[in-house]
Amino acid sequence: MTLLSKEYPEHIAKLQHRTKEALSRENLEGLVIHSGQEIKVFLDDYGYPFKVNPHFKHWLPLIDIPNCWLIINGEDKPTLIYYQPVDFWHKVIPLAESYWGEFFNIEVLTQASEVDQLLPYDKKKFAYIGGHIEVAKALGFERINPEALLNYFHYHRAYKTSYEQACLRQSNQVAVCGHNAAKASFLRGDTEFDIQQNYLKAVGYTANETPYGNIVALNKNCSILHYTALDKIKPKAHHSFLIDAGANFNGYAADITRTYSFKRDKFAELIERMDQLMLNAVDGLKPGVSYSDLHIATYREIGVVLNEFGFINVDADTAVESGVISAFFPHGLGHHLGLQTHDMGGFMADERGTYINAPKEHPFLRTSRIIEAGQVFTIEPGLYFIDSLLSDLKRSKNSDQINWQQVDEMRLFGGIRIEDNIIVHQSHNENMTRDLKLK
């Protein structure tokens, strides 16, 4: 924790500066940021897993306590209203001493319904930031999630402080432990369910603690981009394994994907080729480059791979023009990473939130912003053999550009995705995932 305690004061100072600037623009006196509250299951007395408001955890690493509040004006020490009820039904988490505590005036709240006694009396000049609109209205807030205010914060969230970068390195370290355990489980011939359990055991999580639902797919299931079914039955044979799984550290997400072949075969060679393509794309992640342009260049390179391995019988430029590559690579190259797995601000040209459209030929891009130092991205090219997309391609006018026998032989493997997490610095890229030796 020594490094975090060293970097945290500069982080708070940066957030205070941003807040002061945003409040001045919007003629406000302060923000009230709600951590969130439990959402009950319909017609029952228990709640869904709690997920904290990312604007709240931007300030401090309290990620599992509902009914907390921050009062911030950009100048004075922020006030943390910490919820600590008297409760014999549930475990109450006491407020622990930590490196961040001295930066807040702390008030303890024992009854969630009595929070108004600790909030500003006159709320006309305060904006509520959070997901519980009816609560905000009941408390008397008139400015609720103002769009201009959120645009400002979301734009600047792309630039990670040194503290945030340290947290992201730690989340990668946790996730890599899980990935290594999952790979070993696959090579032992385990089921998807067992691989998932081994991942969770290695990182010390329950399934609800991962930043997103892990994708743990064997064989043809690797072609389902958001596969989360977790088959408990062992397949007749293990051919391929795709795992897209992350971790959290102080509320900052890692998002890592690897694909493996069970044997040393053509699919294994294709994985190695896609791994090199991914690293080449990382090299292209440079300040001043449009992320859209990097995606388009990588899209063409996947066309080169398709030609090299005999899946298409035309060159890459012809495949780009016809669009057949999209049947094999139907998603974007990556996204911003931080407080959320798909972090905010990816389509913003400026603090006002001016939208940068993705190219019409690539509608699934998750960011179109100019790359700058201090930003953090995933790079995750893919190459898949998806039955529905291939079926549409086979019926299209471009069907003759495909070597169908070669493609059909790959269907049982599902597909490939390889994803690393990258901090862009002015002089170089820091590949947090590769620095941890994950293969």
Q: What is the pLDDT of residues 274-292, one digit of tens each?
A: 999 999 999 999 999 999 9
Q: What mean pLDDT do residues 337-362 have? A: 95
Angle between helices 291-308 and 266-283 (to 10 degrees): 150
Nearby residues of 182 by Cβ (< 8 Å), 6 or more positions away: 195, 196, 198, 199, 202, 216, 241, 243, 245
Q: Minimal CA–CA distance to 168: which of 331, 333, 336?
A: 336
Task: Please report which confidence band the pLDDT of residue 1 belongs to, taking 50, 70 and 90 as the band edges.
Answer: low
Fold annotation for 2-157: Creatine Amidinohydrolase; Chain A, domain 1 (3.40.350)
Average pLDDT, the chain: 96
Describe the crossing of helices 162-187 and 2-26 by its angle, rounded to 10 degrees: 120
Question: In this structure, is the dihedral angle defined by the CA atoms of residues 187, 188, 189 and 191, taken in order, positive or negative?
Answer: negative
Q: Which of 152, 60, 164, 59 is nearest to 374 (CA)?
A: 164
Contact 127, 385 (CB under 8 A): no
The tens digit of pLDDT for each residue in 290-343 reads 999 999 999 999 999 999 999 999 999 999 999 999 999 999 999 999 999 999
Check residue 436 and give its pLDDT. 98
Q: Which DSSP state fits 208? A: G
- The three-class DSSP label of residue 261 is strand
**Is pLDDT of 30 > 70?**
yes
Mean pLDDT over 132-139 rounds to 97
Place of tokens 């914060």: 153
What whole-number distance in Å separates Cα of residue 422 and Cα of residue 189?
32
Tell me what pLDDT residue 306 has.
98
Indicate the CATH number for domain 162-435.
3.90.230.10
- For the record, the structure tokens of 224 come out as 């389902």
- What stretch(es) of the chain map to CATH 3.40.350.10? 2-157
Instruction: Identify whether the C-beta of residue 78 lies closer than 8 Å to the C-beta of residue 105.
Output: yes
Annotate 349-414 with DSSP letters as a single string: SSTT--B-PPPTT-TT-S--PBP-TT-EEEE--EEE--HHHHHHHHTSTTGGGB-HHHHHHHGGG-
* Per-residue confidence band for 35, with pLDDT thresholds at 50, 70 and 90: very high
**What letters, b where the CB count within 10 A reaches 16 and e where it falls short, cover 22-60?**
bbeeeebebbbbbbbbeeeeeeeeeeeebbbbbbbbbbb
Is pLDDT at 12 greater than 60 in this prediction? Answer: yes
